[in-house]
Amino acid sequence: MMMWIVAHQGSWDEILMFAIPIAIAIGVIKYTEKRGARKRAELNEADSDPELKG
């Protein structure tokens, strides 16, 4: 039976354990900012469109 041991790998593994969650958080923040900006633009466009106001 082959057993995999997760042990200290010379600090590169600690960097990944820190960097990956930070990178994911930054990606989520950028995605939500773009999504919010797009939604704000749609709402502003709808507010300025006289046909939609009735």
- Of residues 39, 40, 36, 43, the one with CA closest to residue 52: 43
Residue with tokens 């039976």: 1
Is the pLDDT score of 3 beyond 70? no
Is the pLDDT score of 1 beyond 60? no
Global pTM reads 0.62
Distance CA 12, CA 18 (A): 10
Q: How far is residue 43 CA from its own chain's centroid?
A: 23
> If you average pLDDT over every residue of the chain, what do you get?
83
Give the residue extent of every domain in the chain: 18-48
Distance CA 22, CA 29 (A): 11
Distance CA 5, CA 49 (A): 63
Confidence of residue 46 (pLDDT cuts 50, 70, 90): confident
